[in-house]
Amino acid sequence: MSYWLFYWPGLQGRGEFVRLALEEAGAPYRDVAREADGADAMTALLSGPGPHPPFAPPVLRDGDVLVAQTAAILLYLGPRHGLVGAGEAERIWTHQIQLTIADAVTEVHDTHHPVATGLYYEDQKPEAARRAEDVCRSRIPKFLGWFERVLAANPSGPDWLAGDRLSYADLSLFQLVAGLRYAFPKAAARALDATPHVAALHDRVSERPRIAAYLASDRRQPFNEQGIFRRYPELDFG
Amino acid sequence: MSYWLFYWPGLQGRGEFVRLALEEAGAPYRDVAREADGADAMTALLSGPGPHPPFAPPVLRDGDVLVAQTAAILLYLGPRHGLVGAGEAERIWTHQIQLTIADAVTEVHDTHHPVATGLYYEDQKPEAARRAEDVCRSRIPKFLGWFERVLAANPSGPDWLAGDRLSYADLSLFQLVAGLRYAFPKAAARALDATPHVAALHDRVSERPRIAAYLASDRRQPFNEQGIFRRYPELDFG
């Protein structure tokens, strides 16, 4: 049986964290966003009946089960596909890392939407410049510095965030690093110079056979200015 | 054995979502923030050694286990104290709701800190007014409307968010409603007029014997202008 992934068409967005997990797992999935009526299917799902209405995409459908919220989807997929270690302590630690990645993603999103998601970037450019300066100069180094510390403190070595094997959190950190490099080339380069374990983890993930194949395929949409990570040079405070 | 809860002294903050769970469970816990050296203990924990450094508080210590990230702490506590239903489907749904509450909490926080957490509110007042107007007029009604829909769609009835019993998500929604009423009395009243199941859930939680006792005790700190929910009348767009 195949998963269904619902997300908005035309952007990686938060759906990409789920795609990376499904791709690494080699799990069959239907990416509804890439079908002709993907946007309509998404809208219908959000407004449809059922006991578990999603607040927002991404949404994973697994038979009768609907799961929304990126971190909850990964919590659901992890044990099914070997994307998290065994044992409660390692699973809760992996999830804690994932929630911190989610916080970083929200802060990056709000660099271009500090006032309202419902407004265009062009309607909040002065506010965006102030927020982006803080995110580039303070928050990105702080988040990446914490991931560096987590990797350095891992008793199994600095290859992976939790334990001695890849987890969904590693896939998400890869995506965060890739997105930061796209959106803020100067600020990301500076922060990554100080966090070599994080930079190496990005490369290690990108070389996984299934991830490398995915990144080279047309299933991997390019970054663009509709997603979370947007390249507005005036917001790159390097 | 007693839990230790680490958080900043002098405010409810995100620690309050954990306190409510511990109080409802009747679980013994040491609230380190309320001890004489609480702030120093918090700082030492964040910078200390160990394989699982917290990024930010709240942090729960259970023997040798450290868990940070509010939603991860509740994921950990839920099954131990009957604060979540049995079965994976109900647990992942409860967690999905909790993550949506967390998103709402972040958006409320950013009404007074839309530019940078490291700056004072006074240094970002124009940006705060723009963001708060959107949050009051659009986001609070949207979030509370979704919780209303979840309650109305619950096959077990509209008393609780998930299943036929109280979960940690109900405790957190109580706190969100209480905080919104403190911070935005006009906007919250308007939104809650349209979401009667949500308003009733708030009251139902507040009448739980252990929660009522907690709220009447000096362990419940008052809302204030150091927390997430701050009463700045100029930000209450009713």
- Asked if A99 and B50 come within 8 Å (Cβ–Cβ), the reply is no
Per-10-residue mean pLDDT, chain A, length 238 = 94 98 98 91 88 96 96 98 96 98 98 96 96 98 98 98 98 98 98 98 98 98 97 97
Task: Determine the distance in angstroms separating the CA of B216 from the nearest CA of chain A, rounded to an integer.
Answer: 32
Q: Does A114 touch chain B (CB under 8 A)?
A: yes
Supply B235's token pair: 């930000």
Domain boundaries, chain A: 3-80, 88-220
Say if CB B54 and CB B30 are below 8 A apart. no
Report CB contact under 8 Å: B138, A154.
no
User: Would an 8 Å CB–CB cutoff place A99 in contact with chain B?
Assistant: yes
Q: What ipTM describes this predicted complex?
A: 0.97
DSSP string, A185-213: HHHHHHHHHT-HHHHHHHHHHHTSHHHHH
Strand ranges inside B157-216, DSSP E: none
Can you give the length of chain B in residues?
238
Q: Which two tokens stand for residue A142?
A: 């702080």
Asked if B68 is an interface residue toward chain A (Cβ–Cβ < 8 A), one would say yes
8 Å CB contact of B138 and A116? yes
B116 touches chain A (CB under 8 A): yes
Nearest by CB: B72 against A67, A96, A115? A96
- B203 Cα to chain A: minimum distance (Å): 23
User: What pLDDT is stored for residue A1 in this prediction?
Assistant: 74
The CATH number of the structural domain formed by A88-220 is: 1.20.1050.10
| Alpha carbons within 13 A on the beta-carbon side of B202 | 18
Yes or no, beta carbons of B116 and A99 under 8 Å apart = no
Number of H helices, E strands in chain B: 10, 4
Residue A29 dihedral angles phi and psi, to the nearest 5°: -150, 150
3-state SS of A116-177? CCCCCHHHCHHHHHHHHHHHHHHHHHHHHHHHHHHHHHCCCCCCCCCCCCCCHHHHHHHHHH
B176 closest CA partner among B78, B98, B66: B98
Its CATH class, for the domain covering A3-80, is alpha beta
CA distance linking residue B174 with residue B162, whole number of Å: 14
Inter-chain residue contact A153 with B49, CB threshold 8 Å: yes
- In CATH, the number for domain B88-208 is 1.20.1050.10
Task: Identify from B75, B142, B235 which residue to disrupt to test chain A contact, counting A C-beta atoms within 10 A and taking the largest count.
Answer: B75
Four-CA torsion B17, B20, B24, B25, nearest 10 degrees: 60
Residues of chain B found within 8 Å of residue A106, distances taken between Cβ atoms: 103, 106
Sign, Cα dihedral of A85, A86, A90, A96: positive
- What are the CA-CA distances from residue B136 to residues A84, B80, B132, B174, B235 (Å)? 39, 36, 6, 18, 8
- Is A3-80's fold the same as A88-220's? no
Strands B3-6 and A3-6: unpaired
CB contact (8 A) between residue A69 and residue B95 = yes
Residues in chain B predicted with pLDDT less than 50, given as ranges, are none
User: What is the CB neighbour count within 10 angstroms for residue B28?
Assistant: 9
Report CA-CA distances (Å) from B120 to A40, A59, B73, B113, B226: 43, 37, 29, 8, 10
3-state DSSP assignment of residue A68: strand
